[in-house]
Structure 1
Amino acid sequence: MNARTRLSIAGGFFCLLLVLAGLRLAGAGEARASDRGDLWRVVHDICTPMQKLLGLPAPCLKVDSERGFAVVRAPYDVTRIIVVPTRKIAGVESPLLLRADAPNFWSYAWSNRDEVAAAARRPLSWTDIGMAINSSGSRTQDQMHIHVDCVDGRLKSALRAHPPRRDGWTNLDLPWADRYRAKQIGIKDLDRNIFKMVADETPGAKQRMGQESLAVVGYEGPSGERGFVVLANGGDGHAEELLDHQCLAERR
């Protein structure tokens, strides 16, 4: 490695420290305009070049150049990871997400759930892990990203008490969170385009996808069959609230 390469790497890490000092990815709230591109800069300007140059995705956990994703450990959280496309996509409102040839964002995020389980201080089951994307009005970053972390125990209790249907959407009232529409899907259904499912099956959603906030959580039916529950909120919501970044065994 020559001096110029070493200097380039050192400069990259220095930039990373500056970026992470202001990076705010954990939940809703206002962010300065200059902050809203931090996640994209980490993935595009640091992780991807590091992967190409050295075969190391640092500071990301992974850069999958073939499938077009990066996996980032969320700052300040032990278990949460963030799955980010390596191409520029603003967020849930992007028309690219509804195209027939759109990458399978949710399936890819779920396939990296082991990063959550490995960092947890307790064993995690199928139903302990979920994924979420916030609406355009409640996110702090303008690069699409899916949060993957432990499911809030209160949501697990609500789904046990009110099992979602497979043949349609039902309202799920959560006293501690927003109201969501919920639908049960099978394991193979995760290979479908979840964004398009919500847009096509929920009245008016296609015209206001930027206001949609979605979650997909692991689910087991009464007879033990595995699948998922899709949850959607069209009120400019914050589906990340359905995850527990402390990864507690019980939360009531």
Structure 2
Amino acid sequence: MQAGKRVLIAGIVTSVVAAAGCQAFSFNRNADALWNIVSQQCVPNQQQNSDPAPCRLVDLRNGYVVMKDREGPLQFLLLPVKKISGIESAVLLNPFSANYFAEAWHARHYMEERRGSPVDDSAIALSVNSQRGRTQNQLHIHISCLRPDIRRRLDSLDATLSEKWQTTQLGEHEYQIRILTREELKKTSPFVRIANELPGAREEMGKYGIALAAMPGGRRALMVIKRNLLLLNRGSAEELQDHSCAILQPSTLSGT
């Protein structure tokens, strides 16, 4: 490799790392904001007053809360009631742990309630960001709208997707993607599935982001991105979502 190219690549890596470090620093002072809401407000209020506020739901039996996110008209978050920092947490790989993704998909109806009219499953996506691609140190699954261009891309891939992992471009980055049935999503947490099925993933789960979207016939597309700083990729699967929910505008999917 020529010296000039080495310097250029080194400069890019340094810039990316510095930017990530600055962003992490700016949020570190409030990295427990979501956890504080769950542990100091929602859960105590539910226990003492049978009122989940400021959350929308506190499910102590299944160990999670659902709350409206401050960003976007329809975005909700699902969070555990116990302290779980994020995707890197070993507790998520315990097959007996709660299946938070399945619970989050079930909780998508809160989007309809908030909107006051139906939201088709094809417009919805779930996401979890990587350890370095997030700003909060409490596991949270984003329940929100899918980007219209990603919807079109998934529809174009429908005939070629299967239960086998394959590599494809989704938006700006490369993803691993496979199809799940409803039963597979309910039976096995995506965290466990990724650790078991993608080579090397179990040892470095913190580098991964995960997204889930509906496909025709009741199937689900499980999409996984791995952090790659050389490609300016922080492992933030939330990039596949659009919190403004432009997809719910009738003309959006047709591209007109």
Normalising by structure 2, we get a TM-score of 0.82
Identify which range, 235-244 or 29-38, moves more after superposition.
Answer: 29-38
**1:118 Cα deviation from its structure 2 partner:** 2.2
CA distances 1:82-101 after superposition (whole Å, capped 9, x unpaired): 00000000100011011121
| Partner residue, 1:170 | 166
| Partner residue, 2:238 | 240
Write the mapping of 1:25-174 to structure 2, written as runs, cut at 5 A.
29-30=23-24, 31-120=26-115, 123-163=118-158, 164-174=160-170
Residue correspondences, number: 219
Return the match for 2:220 from 197, 215, 228.
228
Provide the rounded CA distance (Å) in 2 between the counterparts of 1:141 and 1:201: 27
Provide the rounded CA distance (Å) in 2 between the counterparts of 1:76 and 1:189: 31
Provide the rounded CA distance (Å) in 2 between the counterparts of 1:33 and 1:76: 19
SS of 1:179 mapped into structure 2: strand
CA distances 1:166-221 after superposition (whole Å, capped 9, x unpaired): 231111213x322111101111111112111111111111111000000111111x
Provide the rounded CA distance (Å) in 2 between the counterparts of 1:53 and 1:122: 33
Return the match for 1:210 from 200, 206, 212.
206
Structure 2 unpaired stretches of 5+: 1-22, 228-233
Contact 1:205 1:234 in 2 (8 A): no
- Tell me which stretches of 4 or more aligned residues in structure 1 moved more than 6 Å: none
Provide the rounded CA distance (Å) in 2 between the counterparts of 1:57 and 1:246: 26
Normalising by structure 1, we get a TM-score of 0.83
**1:119 Cα deviation from its structure 2 partner:** 2.4
Structure 1 residues 141 and 186, CA gap change in structure 2 (3 angstroms): same
SS of 1:241 mapped into structure 2: helix
Q: Which has the higher helix share?
A: 2
Provide the rounded CA distance (Å) in 2 between the counterparts of 1:130 and 1:142: 21
Which amino acid letter does the alignment assign opposite residue 65 of structure 2? Answer: A
SS of 1:214 mapped into structure 2: strand
**1:120 Cα deviation from its structure 2 partner:** 3.3
CA distances 1:24-57 after superposition (whole Å, capped 9, x unpaired): xxxxx53432210000000000111111111111
Structure 1 residues 121 and 61, CA gap change in structure 2 (3 angstroms): closer
Provide the rounded CA distance (Å) in 2 between the counterparts of 1:33 and 1:128: 32
Which amino acid letter does the alignment assign opposite residue 242 of structure 2? Answer: D
Contact 1:73 1:81 in 2 (8 A): yes
Structure 1 unpaired stretches of 5+: 1-28
Provide the rounded CA distance (Å) in 2 between the counterparts of 1:170 and 1:162: 11
Provide the rounded CA distance (Å) in 2 between the counterparts of 1:168 and 1:121: 38
Contact 2:87 2:206 in 1 (8 A): yes
Identify which range, 237-246 or 29-38, moves more after superposition.
Answer: 29-38
Instruction: Report the aligned-residue RMSD.
Output: 1.5
